[in-house]
Structure 1
Amino acid sequence: MAKDKMALSVKLKIFFLVQALFSKVIKGSNIGTSNTISVGGSFQKDEKSNTNNIAIGPNDIVTVKNRHLVKADGTKFLLKGIAFPDPPPRPPYDHTYNAEAWIAILHQLRDLNLKYNAIRMYRMDPYTDYSEFFNEAARLGVYILVPLTSARGGGVIDRDKSPMKCYPRSTFEYGVTSLKNYLRYPNVIAGLLGNEVMNSPQSWPSAPCVKAYGRDLRSWMKQEVAKGTIERTLPLVYAAQNTGIGPMVGPAKAMQMTMDYLTCITDEEIWERRKERLVAAQRKASEAQVKQVESTADFEDDGGTAIDIFGINVESWCSSYDTYETNVDGTPGTYHELHEGLQGSSIPLIFSEMGCAHDLYDGDLDDGGLSPELENSEGPARNVGDRTWGQVPSVLNEMSDLWSGFFAYAYDGSPQFIMFEGGPWDGKHVLEPTADFYSFKEQLDMVDALPQNGSNDTIIYHHKIEDEELPPLCHVIEQEIRDLCGIEIKDFSHIPSRVREVPRWMEYTVMVLITIILVVYGFRLLHLRQRRSLRKQYEVIV
């Protein structure tokens, strides 16, 4: 069975390479014919259909600046995304890919006038050429969050295994293959290296595997950028489930500790230099002093940081009458608690999944949340459990100083969270929008109609050193997790790096040469022994 899987992997790699070379010859694509992965891929701007100038090109790549997502023109970028449906499975591959059907969903959302700018993908095959889908999404102005792990096979981080075994080399190779495939598209905004891996006290010991995986992918990208084989690095995201750790640690505190662990610094000297830089700026030091400190610490990385963006999968705001600050029952609002609890974040924050389950929504209201004032201006009438999405303006306004948007959950998937009916999606035909979808759409419409307040992408980002936050030292956050949760976390640095400094073909060549030398040397020894034996026999006879 293992041999069959290995053979299949090799065949897929060969197929992908041949397909890329063929695409270069026939279409003039730049895939596979150069040692450099070009940002922009085979994207071509359609001037006739792109009358509103929303297409995403190489100059529209979104990067991480301090605690914000920022476009090349200096404007802050806020995600207004939706979770894309999973295509139906087809053994032995993960899921089928139908470019026409996938693109049809993008067009359906645009035709429904949904003011979205991003989608989150869950199931993709790094050996598949998605250029048609990625390019059409770019033409429509849609950014994509791609997965860098898989639900099974070589791309799994197995949280049920020990830290030395839950991150095998096959996972790193899966991630590198994914990056090589997706990096060339300017609308690929980030890569997800883990989803709800550490979501219980029992699974937290696997945290070093997530951290080591992020460390290695970041190291590999920096190495390849220096070589000139790729043109940019891709921000890495971890998506945490908004839940506590045991009875003593609530969700907001658990999210803060998870974020701190994945961004912590291992080298105390580097941490001290970065601290000096921040202190100098905060004390309003002279411009010359700030520049001097900044030049010694800017972007200094000791390999401890695993992620560039921290995502939270949140299922709160479960009433039509919840507000940002309080729930309908008078308890503190989840979004407000997260906003306050993560003020010390050193990186951008997003809701990687957002939306309450239908069965829980308005379940405590006598009218089931179907009051006339909550009806939509378009679409079908609301049913019990249809969400009103009141959190949308809060995330894009009150929280936008720290939060960089969300992905609403979901177009299709679990019946408890769907916004379209008629599924599960067959991978071929679009589904029908529900009242839940139209509520989401109207919230985005209202935000878009507001004056400039951070909700639209027109705020110019100005980097200030004094606004930065310093991640904690790793041994400090590890001790905090140990004290509060009783969880012992192994040192992730004990997991060896999977990044190869020497190309694999060179390793194989050296191994073959050493083998040849040993074989030749062995034959010479055998030959010498035979000659000595014959000589002794001759001496005995004489």
Structure 2
Amino acid sequence: MLIQSALVALAATAVSAVKPLQVKGNDFYDPDTGNKFQIVGVGYQPGGSAGYKPDEKKDPLTDADACMRDAALMQILGINTVRVYNIDPYLDHDKCASIFNAAGMYLIIDVNSPLPGEAITSYNPWESYFGGYLNRTFAVMEAFANYPNTLLFFSGNEIINDKPSAKVTPPYIRAVTRDLKNYVEKNLKRQIPVGYSAADVRDFTYDTWNYCQCTIDGEKDNMSRGDVYGLNSYSWCGIDATYTSSSYNELTDKFKSSSVPVFFSEYGCNQPLGEPRYWNDSVALYSDKMTGAFSGGLVYEYSEEAKNYGLVNLTADGARLLGDYNRLKNKLTKIDWKSLNAQKAAQKDIEAPKCDSKLITHDGFLANWTLPSPPDNTNDMIAKGVTPKRNGKLVDISDYKVSLKVFDEQGNELKDLKVTTFKNDESNYPGKVSTDTGKETTSTSSSSGGSDGTKGDGTKDNGKGDGKGDKDNGAAFAAPMMLGAALPALAMIFA
């Protein structure tokens, strides 16, 4: 009775712009309309991994004024999903989550961070898989479980990125997925999907997908099987790239048989260095060629950092739109979103392949599904719930006007910016909110310093290399030496 009363009170005071989505087969879908949901997303990590400062009680979702500014600019782009890489589960995210919710945007939350003890490592995963690590990841899920716009959790990001990591890491990815899903089932009110975000190292792309989506004989409820599969792909590079030359046709052909939703968890190659991004890959992604296999994607990335992937440059003087912003905005608004959003999801289960060594095509990839047992105190945490924890909730936002300065690419201040709130559980899409953001140019983001005042070399793995890339998302893995030094203390805390 108390819980029901609290939910009624919450509904009366907080804007509810989006409804929880569900997964069936290889689609995200709206359970009320039956329509398929296409992710139109962006990676959000102002300051890069250095922007995650738990000692200072700061992460990307703690500054409500910044969230209001960024949500307004994302809304104009047509963004409906925001991926956040590094979260402190013990901080207050209610205002930012409520702002993005009101703006019609879902959240994808990575449960790991760049700090020692807060991520599974690529080369010695057994050293990083311990009770304290799981306690924190469970707390991340607790912190975001009550927000209706939490779309899914990522159990890992680019942990497999070369042959040495492919030989040892796969069972740990499935083990963490198992532990997270067991925690969701036992402790959260809503069954939020859990998946993995993979580097598009083409030698291992399909092996990783099959390893994560297959069913292990005898495993109860397939709890280690990923619910979704994200791919960080950067193979469409330059103005002359095509659906075929980028190998998007190969990806589409392969993933059309997926038993789980597949989407680009990052995309947006910035090569050749010094040339603008024209976003023809976005047009292809939301065309009839790809929507049968892919559920959209997330552009990398919102803020300009050292490696020049940004749409917006954030400085102490304000936010300034970069050339990529208007080029992306204009490409996305040319797509027929009313027709695309009206597509019906199949809403039927697709039989997953059985886990078998025949699924693995590369001799450098581990073809073994014997998973590590959970750390000693894991079952107790799952049964009783973790402590400490903070349970987030939507809150009322009284003013949706942007208070921080924003400038277009030409340096003109954008006045009267605000987040437009939607009724009737609507999510955002390109063209839904129209605001003049200046002229489209062919300038590149690399001509400007990042939010950390530096310039990068702009190099980026294109999906056919070793997968190491140089993105500063901080979620791939913690430095083994730092982790080794931190583990004894962490183990004592959570023993």
The verdict on a shared fold, with TM-score over 0.5 as the criterion, is yes
Q: How does 1:251-262 map to 2 (within 5 A)?
A: 254-262=204-212
Give, in whole Å, the separation in 2 of the partners of 1:387 and 1:43.
Answer: 44
Does the alignment pair 1:391 with 2:275? no
Cα deviations by residue, 1:375-394 (Å, 9 ceiling, x for unpaired): xxxxxxxxx51100001121
2:146 to 170, 180, 184: 184
- The DSSP-based 3-state class of the residue aligned with 1:336 is helix
**Of the candidates 80, 84, 99, which is equivalent to residue 40 of structure 2?**
80
Amino acid at match of 1:460: K
Q: Residue deviations 1:284-305, cap 9 Å, x none?
A: xxxxxxxxxxxxxxxx723341
- 1:243 alignment partner, one of 198, 201, 213: 201
Instruction: Name 2:403's counterpart in structure 1.
Output: none
Aligned to 2:160: 198
Partner of 2:184: 221
1:187 and 1:436 mapped to 2: Cα distance?
Answer: 27
- Unpaired segments of 5 or more residues in structure 2? 387-495
In structure 2, what is the Cα distance between the partners aligned to 1:144 and 1:504? Answer: 23
Change (3 A) 1:503 1:86: same
* Cα distance change, pair 156–394 in 1 and its aligned pair in 2 (3 A): same
Render the CA deviation track for 1:473-510: whole Å, top value 9, x for unaligned: 25554xx36x62264757214455723265389xxxxx
- 1:456-467 aligned at under 5 Å gives the runs 456-464=340-348
Residue 316 of structure 1 corresponds to 235
Distance 1:153 1:94 in 2: 17
The yes-or-no answer on 1:99 pairing with 2:64 is: yes
Asked if the contact 1:86/1:123 (under 8 Å) is kept, the reply is no
Q: Among residues 92, 108, 114, which one is paired with 1:145 in the alignment?
A: 108
CA contact (8 A) 2:52 2:86 kept: no
Q: Which amino acid aligns with 2:371?
A: F
More helix by share: 1
Match of 1:302 among 193, 207, 222: 222
Aligned-pair RMSD on alpha carbons? 3.1
Indicate the residue corresponding to 1:338 in structure 2.
251
Match of 2:324 in 1: 436
CA distance, structure 1, for counterparts of residue 213 and residue 137 of structure 2: 19
Letter in 2 for 1:214: T
Question: Residues 39 and 200 of structure 1: is their aligned pair in 2 closer, same or farther, counting only changes over 3 Å?
Answer: farther
Check if 1:135 corresponds to 2:98: yes
Q: CA 1:43 to 1:76, structure 2 compared with 1: closer, same or farther past 3 Å? A: farther
Give the match for residue 513 of structure 1. none
> Structure 1: which 5+ residue stretches go unaligned?
1-29, 47-54, 225-229, 271-299, 328-332, 364-383, 506-542
- Work out which structure has the larger RCO, using CA pairs closer than 8 Å and 6 or more positions apart in sequence: 2
Q: 1:167 to 1:318 in 2, by over 3 A?
A: same
AA in 2 matched with 1:233: Q
CA offset digits 1:408-435 (Å, max 9, x no partner): 1111244444333544x56xx6521122
Q: Which residue pairs with 1:511 in the alignment?
A: none
CA pair 475-418 structure 1, distance change in 2 beyond 3 A = closer
Say if 2:195 and 2:230, in contact at 8 Å, map to a contact too: yes
SS of the equivalent of 1:321 reads coil
Q: What is the rounded CA distance, in whole Å, between the counterparts of 2:146 and 2:9 in structure 1?
A: 5
CA deviation after TM superposition for structure 1 residue 461, in Å: 2.1
Q: Give the TM-score taking structure 2 as reference length.
A: 0.69
CA distance in 1, matches of 2:112, 2:189: 22
1:446 maps to which of 334, 341, 345: 334
8 A contact 1:39–1:185 mirrored in 2: no
In the alignment, does 2:148 pair up with 1:170? no
Report percent identity of matched pairs: 22
Matches within 5 A, 1:342-381: 342-357=255-270, 360-361=271-272
**Structure having the higher Rg:** 1
Contact between 1:356 and 1:387, CA under 8 Å: does it hold in 2? yes
Aligned match of 1:491? 370
Match in the other structure for 1:231:
189
Counterpart-to-counterpart distance in 2, 1:238 and 1:463: 22
Is contact 2:357-2:367 (8 Å) kept?
no
Question: For the structure 1 residues 116 and 154, does the alpha-carbon distance in structure 2 shift closer, same or farther, using more than 3 Å as the test?
Answer: same
Q: Which one is further off, 184-193 or 198-207?
A: 198-207
TM-score between the two structures when normalised by the length of structure 1: 0.63
Whole-Å Cα distance in 1 between the matches of residues 371 and 9 of structure 2?
35
Quote the offset at 1:151 in angstroms: 1.1
SS at structure 2 position matched to 1:258: helix
Selected match of 1:405 from 296, 306, 312? 296
